[in-house]
Amino acid sequence: MKKIVILGGGFGGLYTALRLIQLNWTQQPQITIIDKNDRFVFSPLLYELITEEMQSWEVAPPYADLLANTSIQYIQDTVTDVNFNTQEVTLTNSKVTYDRLVVALGGITPDDMVKGAKEYAIPFRSLENAYILKEKLRTLENSDKEFIRVAVIGGGYSGIELTLKIADRLGKRGKIRIIDRGDDILSNSPEFNQKTAKKALLDRKIWLDLETDIVEIEENQISIEYKHKIDTIPVDIVLWTVGTKPVKIINKLSLPQTPQGKIKINSYLQVEDYPEISSMGDLVECYDQHGKILPNTAQVAFQQSDYCAWNIWATIEEKPLLPFQYQPLGEMLALGKDNATLSGLGISLNGDLAYLARRLVYLYRLPTFEHQLAVALKWITNPLSQLGNI
Ligand SMILES: Cc1cc2nc3c(=O)[nH]c(=O)nc-3n(C[C@H](O)[C@H](O)[C@H](O)COP(=O)(O)OP(=O)(O)OC[C@H]3O[C@@H](n4cnc5c(N)ncnc54)[C@H](O)[C@@H]3O)c2cc1C
């Protein structure tokens, strides 16, 4: 029996496994997912935990539940090394051998760019980060402070979505600023989303510090630099949403890498020089059909998982491989508690309808039919608070 081992159960890894079991095998392989966490995190919905629009079981279902009715094995452990000669993965507590390997360990938020970021800023990537932020907000809300001052570093989609959810949670008590070194927010977004997001920020009186560098973060203050002038500002919470870099273990695995530390893959999503290893998601440098580098998004990882599963199946079943073809489906952003914007496939929508469309698209994208059904049932039984004002 062939052994397919998948490192990382995120958007790339989990969906590859779920796709692999749907394919028509001559002999069913043994499929194993290894993840250090016990839950899959549907990160586009992580913001909803801050406003309590959703609960953690909806956004981050345990692997044990997701995979209970499948033939996929799940091992909760940390990958510490891989021997590519003996085809053996080392985990903290054991070793696992493979015939085909999928490396989908994702990315981390770089915290070494500014003094104090690691110690005093909260990244927003994991369930644990969301819990820490919620706890900090709760403590401040229960304090006698008149205002709660939040600085969000990074004006990309994550910084903007997070800012607006926090603004809606804190209401008039929130004094929130976004700091970005660029001359605009959402610089890679469609114009419609950018405009709608700017209006949402303006409506909530969010302060924008553009062309501004963050110099240092301390316990209750940050220093920022604008036009060579440094200002020190008091803050209660600093959020750190400044992009993604591959997980550290990739440096240890001597797979072919780009100067940016991303794994080099071919159009079949196989690692260069290692046809038995596939990789995808935030870890790889991947191009679309026009030679454009694809961003680190769930949309990309999700589409790659389909091709990755197919090509693993094809190499085992001796069928033709399929080169990855990316279909841009547009961009959706949550803009606070009952608002969103979306742009793509010739459609631009904002407000309640966009909010509903975003929820429905993500419902459809949640892993496994059982989980989709459980979440849908909760939304149906709790429609008003879940679907804004519709
Ligand atoms: C807050 C937030 C919001 C986002 N919103 C959107 C959005 O709206 N739309 C969109 O398209 N994209 C969005 N993204 C980006 C998207 O989540 C990522 O691009 C996507 O998750 C990448 O998939 P991946 O499989 O490469 O990595 P991940 O989904 O991060 O999965 C990697 C997995 O590997 C595991 N892992 C890591 N190291 C080890 C180890 N050593 N041993 C064992 N397991 C390990 C992790 O626990 C994790 O489960 C968002 C990201 C964040 C953080």
Question: Does 232 have pLDDT greater than 70?
Answer: yes
For residue 302, give the ligand 1 atom closest to its CA.
Answer: 23
DSSP 260: T
Which residues are CB-contacts of 203 (< 8 A; sequence separation ≥ 6)? none
Look-up of token digits 């345990």: 62
What tokens appear for 287 in the block? Answer: 């191009």
Based on its alpha-carbon atoms, the radius of gyration of the chain, rounded to whole angstroms, reads 22
Which residues make Cβ contacts (< 8 Å) with residue 286, sequence separation at least 6? 265, 269, 280, 293, 294, 300, 304, 324, 326
CA distance 371 to 377: 10
Domains (range + CATH), the chain:
3-36+77-108+245-317 (3.50.50.60), 117-240 (3.50.50.60), 331-386 (no CATH)
Ligand 1 site, residue 8, Cβ cutoff 6 A: yes
For residue 254, what pLDDT band results from cuts at 50, 70 and 90?
A: confident
Give pTM, 2 decimals: 0.94
Q: What is the DSSP letter of 60?
A: S
CA of 305 to the centre of ligand 1 (A): 13
Q: What are phi and psi of 197, to 5 degrees?
A: -65, -40
388 within ligand 1 shell (Cβ under 6 A): no
* Neighbour-count burial for 278-290, b at 16+ CB within 10 Å, e otherwise: bbbbbbbbbeeee
pLDDT-derived band at 383 (thresholds 50, 70, 90) equals: low
H or E stretch including 213?
Answer: strand 212-217
CA distance 296 to 289: 17
Is residue 111 predicted with pLDDT exceeding 90?
no
Q: Are 291 and 276 in contact (CB under 8 A)?
A: no
pLDDT digits (tens, 9 = 90+) for 183-196: 999 998 999 999 99
